[in-house]
Structure formats: structure tokens, C-alpha cells
């Protein structure tokens, strides 16, 4: 297939390269033209030094050219960029073709998941063209062809089948799941809990503390998921628990590393500069708390992360606040 790829971060370069390896003709675009020029000249991403970008992967500098003649569009942009990307596609690609979301997050203020934004822009009659892939997947491992399992989801069965056909190969396994909102919600919320785990490790706490954060964090995600008409059981799978584990336990996770820096006394901007990539958990934290307060659903771990990042609460005070909450019977 002819594929247009929006976003040349680590995940974008990783998946665009994978799609080329699967035999597809891929064009890659990013709004940062200097970055694109470096990719084209060096065939290397600075954050993926061991990966050589295939010569067959075409680097495109104009977004209009990206949409020209493609059968499908895949995105890996930020939460701030996805609405703009969709609007650009609506402007330059008629009739619309299938659109695949690989980014993870919640939109600021609206609290909308990315498939909801796509459906709003494309309109309900075109929702069958919208799909996503998500799950535990570090670009640094996928480019080395390490075995990886994810889920794909869509508003239509035909779109899910298409996603399996274009992404599956001998090391990259994609399972279909029809709950697109549940898949997307787990992907967005896990970044907040990863920041909490990074803070915990940065404070010198141990595995007991981190296990509690992951488990209770998953409980928070399940509780809030029903607000988005998601199936809480979806959160037990790859796009929920699986993604939560890989993001909370790995030093490859930018959200986890961001949390460790915050615990060491970095402010938000300095910590992000140190990471050198967008930390989506910051924005998801704001959106999740807005959503939770609007629906009167307590999410204490996410609120503690918010208080540390935006209200300047010390991490240790946030931990004391969590541990002083009334104890209730555990239930799911």
C-alpha cells in the first residue's frame, strides 16, 4: 500500500521503517524541516542511533505532497498536534482514506480521546475510516526487531482487519480489539501513573511502593474509563495493564524518567529539556483531573501527580497525603 506518515519522532520513524520492511511504499513528514533534513541526509534519528532509516522511506517536506496519492495515513504526533493534523488531512485529502492513530493522550480542556477527535472532524459517516494501534512498545526495541505485541482497534471490523494486514510481521504482532475508546483511554492514562512511579523511584522508594502505584493506578484508570463509554475489561489487556507495566517499569519510558527528575528537584521545563521529547503524561494529567472532577470520580494518584507538577507540592508531602487517605475495602 501507499502510506503517508505524519510525525518523525522515534515512534514515527520506527513504525514508518517497519511498514517499509513490510513491503509498503511510505512517505514521512514532520513539521520540523531541520529535523527532516537531518533524517534525509544522515538516515539516522538522534534518539535511535543504532537504527538505519531505510533508503526506501521517502522523506517529504510539504504536507500537501504527503497526502497525494496515498491509500492510508498514519500519525505519530503530539496531543497538541493531532487536531491540526486531522484538519490538514480533511483539507488536502478528498475523498478521505483510512486514518491510523498511534499517539497516546487526552486533548486539553475537552478531555477527548484521539479517536473521538477524529470522528468529530471526519463526521460520523466516515468513522469507519478511523483506527488505532496501541500497547506496550518502545521504539528502541521495535527497531531491533524484538518480539512485540500490541492491539489494533477501530470503529469498523474492516478497518481492524486492514490494520492487522499492514502492521503484522514475524516480530510485531497486533491483536484486534473492537473497544477503540477503551484501548485509547488506557494508552492515555498510563503515562500519568508512570510519572508517579518515576517519582517514587526518584525518592528512593522500592518495588513495594511501585507495585502499589501500578495496581491502584490501574484501579483509577478503570473507574474513570466508564465516563468515556469504555469497557473496563479492556484495561486488563495489552493496551491497559500491558502498556502500564512497560511504561512504569522501564528506564526507556520518557514519562517514568521525567518523574525521576521531578523527584530530584527538577522543575517541569528543565525535566522536559533533559528528556528531549514530549512528555504526554503532563498534559494527560490535566485532562484526566478535569474529567474526574466533572464526574465526581476520585483519582488520588493522578491528583497527587498534578499537585506536584502544577501546585508545587513536594513529592514527599504528596506521598504522605496518599498514605493518610481513609482505607476502604479493595474491590474491582
CA nearest neighbour of 238 among 76, 114, 38, 104 = 104
Catalytic residue among 104, 190, 228, 328: 190
| 159 touches 128 (CB < 8 A) | yes
| 304 touches 196 (CB < 8 A) | yes
| 123 touches 134 (CB < 8 A) | no
* Catalytic (active site) residue 190: yes
| 178 touches 157 (CB < 8 A) | yes
DSSP secondary structure string, 121-183?
Answer: HH-GGGGGGEEEEESS--HHHHTTT--EEEEEEESSHHHHHHHHHHH--SSEEEEE-S-HHHH
Give the pairing of strands 25-29 and 58-60: parallel
179: Cβ contacts below 8 Å, ≥ 6 apart:
153, 230, 231, 234
* Positions marked active-site: 190
Amino acid at each position: 500500500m501507499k502510506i503517508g506518515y505524519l510525525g518523525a519522532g522515534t515512534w514515527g520513524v520506527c513504525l514508518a521503517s517497519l511498514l517499509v520492511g513490510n513491503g509498503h511504499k511510505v512517505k514521512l513528514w514532520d513539521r520540523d524541516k531541520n529535523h527532516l533534513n537531518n533524517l534525509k541526509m544522515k538516515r539516522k534519528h538522534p534518539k535511535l542511533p543504532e537504527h538505519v532509516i531505510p533508503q526506501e522511506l521517502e522523506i517529504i517536506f510539504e504536507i500537501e505532497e504527503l497526502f497525494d496519492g496515498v491509500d492510508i495515513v498514519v500519525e505519530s504526533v503530539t496531543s497538541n498536534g493531532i487536531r491540526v493534523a486531522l484538519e490538514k488531512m480533511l483539507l488536502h485529502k478528498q475523498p478521505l482514506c483510512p486514518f491510523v492513530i498511534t499517539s497516546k493522550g487526552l486533548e486539553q480542556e475537552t478531555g477527548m480521546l484521539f479517536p473521538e477527535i477524529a470522528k468529530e472532524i471526519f463526521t460520523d459517516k466516515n468513522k469507519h475510516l478511523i483506527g488505532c494501534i496501541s500497547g506496550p512498545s518502545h521504539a528502541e526495541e521495535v527497531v531491533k526487531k524484538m518480539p512485540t505485541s500490541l492491539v489494533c482497534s477501530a470503529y469498523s471490523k474492516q478497518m481492524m482487519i486492514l490494520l492487522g494486514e499492514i502492521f503484522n510481521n514475524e516480530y510485531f504482532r497486533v491483536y484486534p480489539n473492537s473497544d477503540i475508546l477503551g484501548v485509547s483511554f488506557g494508552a492515555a492514562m498510563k503515562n500519568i501513573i508512570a510519572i508517579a512511579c518515576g517519582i517514587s523511584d526518584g525518592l528512593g522508594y522500592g518495588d513495594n511502593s511501585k507495585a502499589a502505584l501500578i495496581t491502584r493506578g490501574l484501579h483509577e484508570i478503570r473507574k474513570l474509563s466508564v465516563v468515556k463509554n469504555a469497557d473496563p475489561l479492556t484495561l486488563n489487556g495489552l493496551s491497559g495493564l500491558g502498556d502500564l507495566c512497560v511504561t512504569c517499569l522501564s528506564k526507556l519510558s520518557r514519562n517514568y524518567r521525567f518523574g525521576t527528575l521531578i523527584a530530584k528537584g527538577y522543575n517541569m521545563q528543565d525535566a522536559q529539556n533533559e528528556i528531549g521529547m514530549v512528555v504526554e503524561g503532563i498534559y494527560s494529567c490535566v485532562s484526566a483531573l478535569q474529567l474526574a472532577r466533572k464526574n465526581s470520580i476520585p483519582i488520588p494518584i493522578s491528583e497527587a501527580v498534578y499537585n506536584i507538577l502544577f501546585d508545587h507540592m513536594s513529592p514527599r508531602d504528596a506521598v504522605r497525603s496518599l498514605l493518610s487517605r481513609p482505607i476502604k475495602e479493595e474491590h474491582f
